[in-house]
């Protein structure tokens, strides 16, 4: 008979805290939340294309009988910004935070200070984002335009979340005395840029600078968030994942720093290029647009550095997993950088202004480049966070190909449709003619976004299967000695 | 948590990288040099801005469709009397009584002021009778977009 323990023989109960603080808890939670936002963003993307295909069918307005009545408006005007916000601030930002909190302790040798603060940042940021996107549909609750036009209290909560995330990162990084690895340079600057730009975008909510100046400020911050935060965090994640998985040293430290400083300078100039208004001196806008052109150089240098790092390990492309995602992400990033440079030319802008071109380039870069880069990170990080191995199934292949095909189909369909749309508008085409001609492009874009949503769902299923059925595994990292020998030997 | 290990980095900088950077700088400088003087178009207002920042009836109709004007003024903008006025024949000024004074005060741009709705003289709810202020949230039409609509409406006879 089993002897029952007396109360004072029982081991002390582990105290559970409300806010998780275990190692890697922040990285894991941010990644799971990010995947949920990916599904939301893809769904909103399908709706965004749907409002172009069936503008009258998908226009819904109704009143909620609460107090004096809340009017809800679901149209293209409200769905487009919700889609971009869910994509950038939901999926990509949470995935980037996960990458930062996964990479930081592993490269510094110091435990994150602290996971609890980072998790509080997660709660604040995502609550603010959910509230902000919901309020986009409530008439009069918020402005409708580029990124980050949430009401002031929502922005305040989001800024608090960003402060918490920055705090957890910088408290860990600042005591480190040695020169940081290039990923940290990208992460650090892009985190500060996100906080600064997001706070800047809150100014019109406090003091209106005038309708035009408010719009200029929002355009500047939106562009800055894409060039600094999204591009920077994506490159930072790739700079960790590719050398780690290939077990090769980074091809060139000089190339990494040259690319970093180029990005630091030209990302800001590119944001200035969004200041397009008669009140802004023409030469200032031209300088900004030259910055967008010049941004091609540091992007290309970083991508070339990463691809050269894979030297001798190209066979990894034929195995499903991290490197496949990473290389696909690199390819999309390069194409997006080229299209952005071309799109900065005024002659191209005259043709594409107000068309689907801009959204198509955004879809290609964010759903293609950045999403696949963060898929690569998730593929590498999740088994190490959960201490389980991926299963060998078709779902991993499915995740890659649906994401790749979806981003390519949606992005290029919108870009092609945008060019045709611009051309027809310039010729004075009627709305019926426009809708008929663009029908095929928009249907293809909807199909592409559906594939992306399927890819996101596949990732969610993969994560679920990893957690519930994955076999336990302990992961080792290559020894420092072996890696140094590889550097010296070449 | 997997143990810590730094990622080694090979020193040095390939020469082609410097060459590429200089080349891209030159391209940027040439672009800047050829775009020093001119006038910017008005800001389009971000991703949710309606299409057709340029002029033309197609652009105007796109803005009208997105703003939902036809929901009240009818599919052909002929209005739904007596509540929603006909938008044809406005070349001579306002055709409804509550806007006659506005037409006298702003003979050249009364339609712009009325559609925008942000001026205090036209933002009164009793005067607007449910007409949204398209210059403010959530529509945020720019002055140029409103101008495009006005030009189109003035072409309707």
Q: What is the ipTM of this complex?
A: 0.72
Q: How far apart (Å, rounded) are the C-alpha atoms in residues A151 and A160?
A: 14
Q: How far apart (Å, rounded) are the C-alpha atoms in residues A238 and A374?
A: 8
- Closest chain A residue to B144 measured between Cα atoms? A277
Whole-angstrom Cα Rg for chain B = 26
- Chain A CB contacts of B25 under 8 Å are 294, 297
Question: Min CA distance, B144 vs chain A (Å)?
Answer: 11
Place of tokens 């009140």: A279
Give per-residue pLDDT as tens, A61-111: 666 665 555 666 666 667 778 888 899 999 999 999 999 999 998 888 888
Q: What is the pLDDT of residue A230?
A: 94
Note whether A146 contacts B47, CB cutoff 8 Å.
yes
How far is C-alpha B120 from the chain's CA centre?
Answer: 21
Averaged pLDDT for residues A129-152:
71
Whether A435 has a pLDDT exceeding 80, the answer reads no
- Chain B CB contacts of A283 under 8 Å are 32, 35-37
Which stretch, A209-218, A252-261, B47-56, has highest mean pLDDT? Answer: A252-261
Closest by CA position to B52, among listed B116, B137, B118, B147? B147
Please, what is the angle between helix A296-309 and helix B15-33, to 10°? 160
Residue A51 at interface with chain B, using a CB cutoff of 8 Å: no
Note whether A290 contacts B139, CB cutoff 8 Å.
no
Place of tokens 């302990």: A474
How many CA atoms does the CB half-sphere of A166 hold within 13 Å? 16
Cβ neighbours of residue B49 closer than 8 Å, sequence gap 6 or more: A145, A354, B142, B145
Question: Min CA distance, A461 vs chain B (Å)?
Answer: 23
Residue B83 at interface with chain A, using a CB cutoff of 8 Å: no
Note whether B25 contacts A434, CB cutoff 8 Å.
no
The mean predicted confidence, pLDDT, of chain A is: 83
Closest by CA position to A362, among listed A405, A400, A325, A415? A415
Q: How far apart (Å, rounded) are the C-alpha atoms in residues A459 and A465?
A: 10
SS3 A60: strand
Averaged pLDDT for residues A356-385:
90
How far is C-alpha A385 from the chain's CA centre?
Answer: 21
Note whether A294 contacts B25, CB cutoff 8 Å.
yes
Whether A336 has a pLDDT exceeding 50, the answer reads yes
Please answer whether residues A124 and A59 qualify as being in contact, where contact means their C-beta atoms are separated by less than 8 angstroms: no
Note whether B36 contacts A286, CB cutoff 8 Å.
yes
Place of tokens 């490197």: A323
Cis-peptide into B101, omega within 30 deg: no
Question: Min CA distance, A146 vs chain B (Å)?
Answer: 4
Give per-residue pLDDT as tens, A454-487: 888 888 888 888 888 877 877 655 444 444 555 5
**Pairing state between β A60-64 and A70-74:** antiparallel
- For residue A219, what pLDDT band results from cuts at 50, 70 and 90? confident
- For residue A222, what pLDDT band results from cuts at 50, 70 and 90? confident
Please answer whether residues A250 and A309 qualify as being in contact, where contact means their C-beta atoms are separated by less than 8 angstroms: yes
More confident residue, A348 or A89: A89
- For residue A169, what pLDDT band results from cuts at 50, 70 and 90? very high
Query: Is 0.90 surpassed by the pTM of this model?
Result: no
Give the number of other Cβ atoms within 10 Å of residue A69's Cβ: 8
* CA distance readout (Å), B55 to A115, A398, B9, B89: 54, 45, 55, 20
Phi-psi region of A9 (alpha: psi -120 to 50; beta: other; left: phi over 0): alpha
SS3 B35: coil
Closest by CA position to A147, among listed A203, A206, A201, A75? A201
Q: Which of B45, B48, B53, B119 to mutate to test binding with chain A, by most A CBs within 10 Å of its CB?
A: B48
Note whether A290 contacts B32, CB cutoff 8 Å.
yes
- Chain A CB contacts of B43 under 8 Å are 212, 215-216, 219, 275-277
SS3 A63: strand
Whether B1 has a pLDDT exceeding 50, the answer reads yes
Averaged pLDDT for residues B116-123:
83
Q: How far apart (Å, rounded) are the C-alpha atoms in residues A458 and A375?
A: 11
The mean predicted confidence, pLDDT, of chain B is: 77
């Amino acid at each position: 008979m089993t002897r029952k323990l007396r109360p004072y023989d029982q081991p002390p109960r582990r105290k559970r805290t409300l806010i998780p603080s275990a190692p890697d808890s922040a990285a894991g939670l941010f990644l799971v939340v990010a995947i949920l936002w990916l599904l939301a963003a893809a769904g909103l993307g399908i709706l965004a294309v749907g409002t172009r295909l069936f503008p009258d069918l998908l226009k819904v307005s109704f009143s909620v009988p609460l107090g004096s009545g809340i009017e809800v408006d679901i149209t293209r005007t409200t769905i487009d910004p919700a889609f971009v916000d869910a994509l950038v601030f939901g999926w990509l930002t949470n995935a980037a935070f996960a990458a930062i909190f996964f990479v930081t302790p592993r490269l510094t040798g110091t435990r994150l200070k602290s996971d609890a603060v980072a998790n509080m940042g997660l709660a604040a940021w995502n609550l603010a984002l959910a509230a902000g996107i919901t309020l986009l549909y409530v008439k009069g609750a918020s402005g409708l335009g580029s990124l980050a036009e949430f009401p002031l209290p929502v922005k305040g909560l989001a800024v608090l979340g960003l402060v918490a995330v920055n705090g957890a990162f910088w408290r860990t990084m600042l005591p480190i005395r040695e020169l940081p690895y290039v990923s940290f340079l990208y992460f650090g600057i892009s985190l500060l840029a996100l906080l600064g730009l997001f706070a800047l975008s809150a100014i019109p909510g406090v003091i209106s600078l005038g309708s035009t100046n408010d719009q200029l400020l929002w355009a500047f911050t939106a562009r800055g968030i894409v060039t600094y935060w999204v591009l920077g965090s994506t490159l930072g994640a790739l700079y960790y994942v590719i050398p780690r998985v290939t077990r090769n040293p980074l091809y060139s430290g000089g190339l990494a720093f040259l690319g970093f400083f180029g990005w630091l300078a030209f990302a800001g100039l590119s944001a200035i290029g969004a200041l397009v208004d008669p009140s802004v001196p023409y030469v200032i806008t031209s300088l900004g647009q030259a910055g967008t052109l010049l941004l091609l150089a540091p992007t290309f240098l970083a991508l070339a550095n990463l691809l050269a790092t894979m030297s001798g390990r190209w066979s990894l492309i034929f195995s499903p997993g991290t490197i496949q995602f990473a290389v696909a992400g690199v390819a999309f990033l390069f194409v997006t950088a080229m299209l952005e440079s071309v799109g900065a030319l005024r002659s191209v802008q005259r043709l594409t202004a107000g068309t689907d071109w801009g959204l198509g380039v955004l879809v290609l870069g964010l759903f293609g480049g950045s999403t696949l880069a963060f898929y690569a990170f998730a593929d590498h990080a999740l088994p190490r966070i959960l201490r389980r191995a991926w299963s060998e199934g078709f779902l991993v292949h499915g995740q890659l190909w649906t994401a790749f095909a979806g981003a390519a189909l949606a992005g290029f369909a919108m870009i092609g449709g945008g060019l045709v749309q611009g051309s027809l508008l310039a010729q004075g085409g009627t709305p019926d003619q426009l809708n008929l001609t663009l029908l095929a492009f928009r249907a293809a874009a909807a199909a592409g976004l559906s594939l992306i949503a399927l890819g996101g769902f596949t990732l969610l299923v993969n994560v679920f299967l990893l957690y519930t059925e994955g076999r336990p595994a302990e992961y080792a990292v290559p020894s420092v000695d072996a890696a140094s020998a590889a550097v010296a030997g070449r | 948590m997997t143990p810590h290990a730094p990622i080694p980095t090979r020193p040095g900088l390939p020469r082609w990288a410097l060459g590429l950077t200089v080349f891209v700088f030159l391209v940027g400088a040439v672009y800047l040099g050829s775009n020093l003087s001119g006038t910017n178009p008005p800001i389009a207002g971000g991703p949710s801005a309606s299409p057709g920042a340029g002029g033309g009836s197609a652009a105007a109709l796109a803005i009208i469709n997105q703003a939902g004007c036809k929901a009240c003024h009818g599919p052909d903008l002929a209005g739904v009397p007596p509540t929603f006025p006909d938008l044809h024949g406005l070349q001579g000024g306002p055709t409804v009584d509550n806007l006659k004074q506005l037409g006298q005060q702003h003979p050249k741009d009364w339609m712009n002021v009325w559609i925008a709705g942000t001026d205090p003289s036209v933002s009164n709810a009793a005067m607007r009778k449910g007409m949204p202020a398209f210059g403010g949230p959530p529509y945020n039409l720019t002055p140029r977009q409103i101008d495009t609509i006005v030009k189109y409406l003035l072409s309707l006879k």
